[in-house]
Structure 1
Amino acid sequence: MTTLGTASASPGEMAVGRLPVGEARDGSEVGLPVAVINGEQDGKTLYIQAVSDGDELNGLGVIRRLVPQLDPEEIAGELLIIGIVNHYGFQVAEHRNPIDDTKLNRTYPGNESGTASERIAAATFGAVRRADLVLDLHQGSTSCMINEVRVRCGSRHRLHRDCLELAKVFGCGYILDRKGPDGQLARVAPDEGIPTIDPELGGSVGWNEESIRKGVKGVFNVLYRYGFLDGEITTAPQTRATGFSQYGSPAGGLVTFRADLGDRVDRGETLFEITGPFGRVKETVTADSSGILWRHRRLPQVASGEYVCSVGTNVDEY
């Protein structure tokens, strides 16, 4: 029997339920939606979660399309899935948890007696510890971003190669291989000996169909390669960046980009211009180093010093 929260499944079965994580302001129990898929045959355990940032919905789009396609009688091993981690942020479509004004994916491994976010992190990390592999599905919030996978444990970590291989198997085409901040799940779980990646499935308001399709394909790639399902994949070389440069606006105005997401840019090449409301160019911003335009803001209006875009640097193929 495989159990997660109130969901329990015997071999060859699937079950859904709730994982209790605390109480809301009206005293009602808060439970995260969970699914358990207990394969007919023995095998590894895969943990998948989405929406630890409350406005990042593409991962949830992947899960709701993935689960109906899985037949427990064809699976070897177990899948533990949490569809919505940041319950409070999801309810109000906010990135952070509004109960404690915290970015939940900075609170792992959590604290059972801590803040609302720390309690959620502790409850979900209990499931993570049971897994052999972890997929933490994200996106670039509501900004515009390429589809990529992040390896966050750092190049000197003993599981770095395992996490990098998992990212290559997922196969978005781009990998950001850079140590993440303290408290990120993809940074903390490898310390427990669990290869973990952070697929960043584009960036959008609401769903993005292309990113969801890539995410579903990526999960199936993992299921095939690690023996959960019968099937073969061929891994293609991925474009990897190990650096990340952010650019702010030197002036207030309106942004015009001179490169598209995924474009390679050379040092000194124009990234964007800032114009006034009548089209006069006020400032031109060029790349400090060669790389790939990885992410940029969605809205054109900026204040001086406000974030505009990011370039992945130190680019190679893996």
Structure 2
Amino acid sequence: MTVTFGSASADPGEMDVGRLTVGETRDGSSFGLPVAVVNGAGDGKTLYVQAASDGDELNGVGVVNRLVPQLDPAALSGTVLVTGITNWHAFQVAEHRNPIDDTKMNRAYPGDPNGSSSERIAAATLDAAADADFILDLHQGSTSRMLNEVRVRCGRHHRLHKACLELAQVFDCGYVLDQKGPNGQLARVGPDEGVPTIDPELGGCVGWDEESIEYGVRGVWNVLEYYGFVEGDAGPVTQTRATGFDRYGSPAGGLVQFEADLGDAVRVGDVLFRVTDVFGRLKAEVTADGDGVFWRSRRLPQVATGEYVCSVGTGVTEY
């Protein structure tokens, strides 16, 4: 059966790229998101993948850039649909939010085909995603430093929680945040549409990070193998799972010196960071409120009073 996504159309055993038209720019010309269809020669399930829902989170674009050329439709059972750049306007100006409506794209789902720019994009991409069997919404921790992790956002009482958690374990970044997400996230809306959905957060950087991109490419391949799209023996892997975060801001302005690194086990009372003045004189010392894993930190050393510094994953178990 021929599969169409936007202007991309592929018969079984073929691959095509095209555009998913979602509106017009300020000069009245139409614009579309770059999309691809990889239609396997064999029957099977459908995987939907999207990247750059936030315009400065580029590691997912790196995954798409490396992954799609590796997909051989002749060896594929089922279909892979890809939106290579979701937040088109924000991507053009290397910003997090859509500058047309000042909206964070991953708070706009399920969207509205007659709504704002972000709502129209959300509605158009969800229309394709909701018909899939699995959804991978590729993100990163913006420009902060962060572990490579996968987020399960449906909530632990959702009927698809177990399926979403299994998908996260198969993707296998080693770390999972299992915490119900804010309204408007695709990883919240996808399960409500009956589709297991995860939000891989592929590190955090400015530009591309090769290690995180490799995690993402391998993760998608794991999903393809386990769910029968391609031959392979990937399966669920035990992960370090957190169910929440303790966030820490700076009690003083100055320069941050971290005493913990990403992935370190943290115990209550451990020093997380110190703040000094420009001459190295100590101004503040911040310790952990509880046990957990050092999960995320700011990239720049300079901070103002109350400014975000780091996060510790809490409620940590092996699952």
TM bucket normalised to smaller: over 0.9
Alignment-derived partner of residue 171 in structure 1: 172
Alignment-derived partner of residue 89 in structure 1: 90
Deviation at residue 243 of structure 1 after TM alignment: 1.3
**1: CA distance between counterparts of 2:87 and 2:71?**
25
Q: Secondary structure at the match of 2:220?
A: helix
Deviation at residue 88 of structure 1 after TM alignment: 0.4
Contact 2:77 2:230 in 1 (8 A): yes
Whether 2:230 is the aligned partner of 1:226: answer no
**2: CA distance between counterparts of 1:94 and 1:2?**
33
Note the alpha carbon deviations across 1:57-104, whole angstroms, 9 max, x for none: 000100110011111010000111000000000000000001111101
Contact 2:163 2:196 in 1 (8 A): yes
Deviation at residue 236 of structure 1 after TM alignment: 2.8
Whether 2:305 is the aligned partner of 1:274: answer no
Q: May I ask how many residue pairs the two structures share in their alignment?
A: 318
Write the mapping of 1:24-35 to structure 2, written as runs, cut at 5 A: 24-35=25-36
TM-score, normalization: structure 2? Answer: 0.99
Q: Secondary structure at the match of 1:304?
A: coil
Alignment-derived partner of residue 310 in structure 2: 309
Alignment-derived partner of residue 290 in structure 2: 289
Note the alpha carbon deviations across 1:260-301, whole angstroms, 9 max, x for none: 011011001000001001001100000001000100000000
Deviation at residue 190 of structure 1 after TM alignment: 0.1
**2: CA distance between counterparts of 1:298 and 1:33?**
31
Deviation at residue 234 of structure 1 after TM alignment: 4.5
**2: CA distance between counterparts of 1:34 and 1:251?**
47
Q: Secondary structure at the match of 1:164?
A: helix
Q: Secondary structure at the match of 1:205?
A: coil
Alignment-derived partner of residue 120 in structure 1: 121
What amino acid is aligned across from residue 294 of structure 1 in structure 2?
W
Deviation at residue 245 of structure 1 after TM alignment: 1.0
Note the alpha carbon deviations across 1:162-214, whole angstroms, 9 max, x for none: 00000000000000000000000001110011000000000000000000011
Q: Secondary structure at the match of 1:261?
A: coil
Alignment-derived partner of residue 252 in structure 1: 253
Alignment-derived partner of residue 195 in structure 2: 194
**1: CA distance between counterparts of 2:127 and 2:53?**
15
Alignment-derived partner of residue 185 in structure 1: 186
**2: CA distance between counterparts of 1:36 and 1:235?**
26
Runs of 4+ with deviation above 3 angstroms:
none
Whether 2:57 is the aligned partner of 1:56: answer yes
**Runs of 5+ unmatched residues, structure 2:** none
Write the mapping of 1:36-115 to structure 2, written as runs, cut at 5 A: 36-115=37-116
Contact 2:226 2:235 in 1 (8 A): no
**2: CA distance between counterparts of 1:233 and 1:133?**
16
Q: Secondary structure at the match of 2:215?
A: helix
What amino acid is aligned across from residue 165 of structure 2 in structure 1?
L
**1: CA distance between counterparts of 2:30 and 2:6?**
13
**CA RMSD, Structure 1 to Structure 2 (Å):** 0.6
Deviation at residue 253 of structure 1 after TM alignment: 0.6
**Runs of 5+ unmatched residues, structure 1:** none
What amino acid is aligned across from residue 139 of structure 1 in structure 2?
Q
**2: CA distance between counterparts of 1:62 and 1:7?**
20
Contact 2:294 2:313 in 1 (8 A): yes
What amino acid is aligned across from residue 124 of structure 2 in structure 1?
A
Percent of aligned positions that are identical: 69
**2: CA distance between counterparts of 1:147 and 1:307?**
20
**1: CA distance between counterparts of 2:157 and 2:236?**
24
